[in-house]
Chain A
Amino acid sequence: MSLGPYATFIVTSYALVTAVVAALIVWVIVDYRRQKARLHDLEASGVVRRSGRSAVDAS
């Protein structure tokens, strides 16, 4: 696949898009784990929600 004289622009564009999308995915996953960990810690230390149910649902 010959990308012509402006190959660097094409490759850079695709690389940037991949990088930013990857960063978004990583952010979402890391944030998820962090919130779950905090919820576990809080519930382990005895705090209870008004409804009495666990904050960390089966999801």
Chain B
Amino acid sequence: MANTLDQIFVLLKHWIVAYFPLALQPVVGILLSVVAIIATFPALFALTTVIERKGLGRMQNRIGPNRTGPFGILQPVADGIKSLTKEDIVPRSADAVVHFVAPLVLVVVVFMGFAVLPMGRNMQLVDMDAGLLYFFAIGASAELSIFMAGWSSRNKYSLLGAMRAVAQMISYEVPLLMSTVAIVMITGSLSLVKIVEAQNQYTWGLPHWYIFTPWGFAAFIMFCIAAMAETNRSPFDLPEGESELVAGYFTEYSGFKFALFFLGEYVGMFSISGLGTTLFLGGWSAPLAVLNFMPSWIWFFSKVMLSIVVMIWIRGTLPRLRQDQLMNFAWKFVLPMTLLNLFVAGLWRFMGEGILRWLVCSAILLGVYVIVGRTEMRRRKIGPRSYRYAE
């Protein structure tokens, strides 16, 4: 019974596919999975906008939307109707073709990332050998659409926002990739399905998730930082900062194209949370061995929604980073720590089982973190705040 519930979507797909002639069956199977993905994640996006606005509202000591439906649940419906009925304004000097294509490229590229995520047991769209590499390749293509949006608007604010966004994204792409290389090293495969299966073992009832190892924990923190920077999410949202650049690279977009950008950004958040869940939090495996009776896809989506809630929480809490602080942080701190993490992961693998490897690896990582942190802080003289007034 538990197994049926676990595999219910797979069984449903096989049942529908059986109605078609043999030649069409692979195509229909793929189409069904694609339709399921395209239906699920925008629905989650709608839920997330409500959670975000209510959550941010409560964190900022105000009530969020509460007019549309009980607790503002129907707000996404209102937003959707608004964005569909707004006039689509394209500036006269804007580059019409590129202006039109930019949100399309973003949405297509962001949805393509879901093809390799295992959302449950046997529930990935494609089981590629180089799945992780595919995901990062697709993520790299998203930066191009942001540049296209900023440049085609012929607006200085948009161009500035686009340049900042692209610089930020390429800076943080290196720590993002390097923090996952340790996982690949230990698992021995780039396939996301195999990475989840390697984490699906239990010792004394506790799972073998990579976040519970010293190098995995460090890599998870760096992955989270880089993921928030990649999706232009606070505290890294200078490119789209509302108080800085009007709206950054999507200043000149109105109506449905803005909704597409918004959708693309949030679905990108889901995508990278899904990847983080797969790599570090064990994907679809349950936290305790006794909880395996619950379906695997419930665990995957719970972990993804938990990551989204943490991202919203961080947005409401931390102040925005300045552009040079951002870049300094990426190149001078996060990147060397990822390289050190690789070394520590290799040490972990070759030290063999036992308590010694836990102590040595944790000591190395903590020691370097404290020392590098203190060294960087000593150079900045942080004294009492001084005010300069216009005379």
Do the two shown chains form a genuine complex with each other? no
